[in-house]
Structure 1
Amino acid sequence: LEGVLGLVGGVADLGIVKSGLQPQVQVRPRRELLGRFGLTMADVQGFVSTALGGRAVGLHWEGERSFDVVLRLPNDARDSVERLGNLRIPTSSGALVPLSSLATITVGYGRAAINRENGQRYVGIRMNVRGRDLGSFVDEARRVVEAKVSQKPGLTLVWGGEFESKERAMARLKLVVPVALVITFGLLFAVFQSVPLATLVLVHVPFALIGGALGLWAFDMPVSIAAAVGFIALVGQAALNGVLVLSAIVERRQQGMPIDEAIVVGASDRLRAVLMTATLAALGLLPAAFSKAMGAEMQRPMAVVIVGGTLSAALLTLLVLPASYRLAHRWLEGGGASPEAPPAGHDHGVEPPAVA
């Protein structure tokens, strides 16, 4: 499996997670001899465990503190293989049999730790990914492994680490994003008291995502969890810009201005506020977007997305949103966006005819 993963592009620092070796006294009971003396594997294991590692047989109290009373052989009785082999194990008949007559005792090397997860042993293969995003790497690695590695019964292949954390976060985002959009729509409806106007602002939110996507492309960054959080933040920023511009246009229409004049005046009045909001957000996160410090790989994608998204949202809100209102103003105002229609003859800047 390690060799197959090495064929996938972008893999780096590939290796098997191994625990270190340490010297061990290895006692291997001989089953045929145990049965002859009426002993079991558990009898020998319990005896050796108590002799070498000790066993708690009681408690010793000093005031309110308690300490285990441990039964264990003294060091001079277990400091060599020969002395350990001379230890005598009591049998069911009361006889004492040397441990060396029941088991093979050697000094060898074994693993310092056995890795387990969820009650199952596992062997980990560690790797880093360089020059490509994690999602596409894992997709390609899965295809290569399925094609070239035959999985034996009882073995399970799990892709964990940072990829597993990313998958869990993405699953949560699938719930968070719709909830954020619903809450945003509810707030927009509370502001305008109009479903068409709230819908118009919400459908222009993706224009903010264009700048964020271009920012990731310009910095050659993949779509990560931090970038996804930045996109969610842009939803609120784009909605705020839309509320500023659209509320000014609706207010001018309520005052009786012609549609074209209301759009120009309303957008012009909100130009400074929209640009200041976008500029402050962009300048505030610009150092994080270009940071190379430790831990910057987590904050840079979010900063790049927000900087690019706020700039594109500001420009497109001032241009596209008024144009969309101009194209759909009859439907929007007919849906109750404008409480009073402009006086007759004022629409489109046409003066009412004179009456003789």
Structure 2
Amino acid sequence: DQLDAKADEIAALMRRIPGGADVQLRSPPGTAGVDIRLRLDRLAAYGLQPAAVLDAVQAAYEGKVVGKGYVGNRIFELAVILPPDWRQDPDDVGQLPLRAAEGEVLTLDQVADIRAGEGRYNVLHRGSRRVQSITAGVAGRDLASFMAELKRRTLAEITFPTDTYPEFTGAAIEQAKARNELILHALLAGAGVLLLIYIAIGDLRHTLLTLVNLPFSLVGGVLAALLSGGILSVGSLVGFVTLFGITVRNAIMLISHYRHLVEIDGKPWNLATAVQGAQERLPSILMTALVTALAMLPIAVNSDNPGREIMGPMAAIIVGGLFSSTVLNLLLLPAMLLRFGHFAGK
């Protein structure tokens, strides 16, 4: 019908899109099958009930549990089913033995008309409306770009009648929703963190200079994402959020130490003080980055293993971002604070 025709067009389009693999219709039309129509007059002549015949067919081709077996303290279900070779040939269906009421053994083709045919093994519905689902895997490219191209080409190349419309669902859509929610929550959390940083530092200029450190970590994180495949997944976003938190912490530690040197120790704010503060904060900042990177490195190296689809990209971005942020934090941030910062003794 019309729904199946449009589903075939979409399936053909998905096969032409680069990266589309294993495209299938969940309810394909024209599926080969065997049509068994019981003859009630023959059943009555042999004293058979239709339900008994159907139970025999189901047990022969789907299997039926008939008892339980015990081996020590373990229990096993015992089932009967025809051998695989007998279940593959449609001509053998008619030779299925049945036992009549008087004990006579007869075959299925004696009480039923059996013929090969085509049909649909299931009919999909949702909300009292018929649906047809096309599934596919993606190989050699990321889900987001494949889904974007599929949407664009489907709406541009296929014309749908007024009572039929496409709906795109699956892992790519769920990942996009999760990514958007994570970005929104990260922005809200970032606003709260910014307020807390301002309260802790007490100076708007130094607060803004702390945020300048974020691009330092972004450099290494982006490079790590490109080297690991260039796919921005939910795990990658979690890695960036974690990385930004560590980077801001290191910047706050450095600025707080500069304030201590100037306001408590009474040192003038000049190049010598900037170098001294960076040198004294080098061990703590370096150890924080080193311990975190060593913990994440095994996960980042084996990120292609199954089960690490989220942890792998997250760990790779944290490792790459920590490297760039630590180096630039100790080199560029003191110079920027020396040029734009202001520390005054009490």
Whether TM-score is above 0.5 comes out as yes
Query: Whole-Å Cα distance in 1 between the matches of residues 338 and 23 of structure 2?
Result: 59
Q: CA deviation at 1:13?
A: 1.5
1:268-307 to 2 correspondence within 5 Å?
A: 268-291=279-302, 292-307=304-319
Find the counterpart in structure 2 of residue 150 from structure 1.
Answer: 159
Query: Whole-Å Cα distance in 2 between the matches of residues 221 and 130 of structure 1?
Result: 14
1:1-356 to 2 correspondence within 5 Å?
A: 1-18=10-27, 76=49, 110-254=119-263, 255-258=265-268, 259-291=270-302, 292-329=304-341, 332-333=342-343, 338=344, 340=346
Query: Whole-Å Cα distance in 2 between the matches of residues 170 and 23 of structure 1?
Result: 47
The superposition leaves residues 147-186 of structure 1 with CA deviations (integer Å, 9 ceiling, x where unpaired) of: 2211221222122111111121122123212112112212
Q: Which of the two has higher C-alpha Rg? A: 1
Corresponding pairs, count: 265
Distance 1:126 1:203, change over 3 A: same
TM-score (norm 1): 0.67
Query: Whole-Å Cα distance in 2 between the matches of residues 318 and 273 of structure 1?
Result: 12
Q: CA deviation at 1:118?
A: 4.7
Structure 2 counterpart of 1:168, one-letter code: K
Query: Whole-Å Cα distance in 1 between the matches of residues 162 and 48 of structure 2?
Result: 46
The superposition leaves residues 94-134 of structure 1 with CA deviations (integer Å, 9 ceiling, x where unpaired) of: xxxxxxxxxxx999775443333455432111111122222
Query: Whole-Å Cα distance in 2 between the matches of residues 120 and 239 of structure 1?
Result: 53
SS across alignment from 1:204: helix
Q: CA deviation at 1:236?
A: 0.7
Structure 1 counterpart of 2:49, one-letter code: D
Distance 1:75 1:174, change over 3 A: farther
Q: CA deviation at 1:242?
A: 0.4
Find the counterpart in structure 2 of residue 87 from structure 1.
Answer: none
Query: Whole-Å Cα distance in 2 between the matches of residues 199 and 12 of structure 1?
Result: 48
Distance 1:78 1:282, change over 3 A: closer
Q: CA deviation at 1:79?
A: 6.0
Find the counterpart in structure 2 of residue 99 from structure 1.
Answer: none
Is this contact kept in 2: 1:282–1:306, CA < 8 A? Answer: yes
SS across alignment from 1:313: helix
SS across alignment from 1:209: helix
Query: Whole-Å Cα distance in 1 between the matches of residues 130 and 280 of structure 2?
Result: 67
In structure 1, stretches of 5+ residues that fail to align are 28-73, 82-104, 341-356
Distance 1:284 1:160, change over 3 A: same
Query: Whole-Å Cα distance in 1 between the matches of residues 32 and 114 of structure 2?
Result: 16
| Bigger mean CA deviation after superposition, 115-124 or 225-234 | 115-124
Q: CA deviation at 1:206?
A: 2.4
Is this contact kept in 2: 1:241–1:313, CA < 8 A? Answer: no
Query: Whole-Å Cα distance in 2 between the matches of residues 319 and 129 of structure 1?
Result: 43
Is this contact kept in 1: 2:220–2:322, CA < 8 A? Answer: yes
Query: Whole-Å Cα distance in 1 between the matches of residues 50 and 182 of structure 2?
Result: 62
Is this contact kept in 2: 1:12–1:128, CA < 8 A? Answer: yes
In structure 2, stretches of 5+ residues that fail to align are 1-9, 39-46, 55-112
TM-score (norm 2): 0.69
Structure 2 counterpart of 1:256, one-letter code: G
Is this contact kept in 2: 1:24–1:110, CA < 8 A? Answer: no
Q: CA deviation at 1:205?
A: 1.4
Query: Whole-Å Cα distance in 2 between the matches of residues 241 and 138 of structure 1?
Result: 39
Is this contact kept in 1: 2:220–2:321, CA < 8 A? Answer: yes
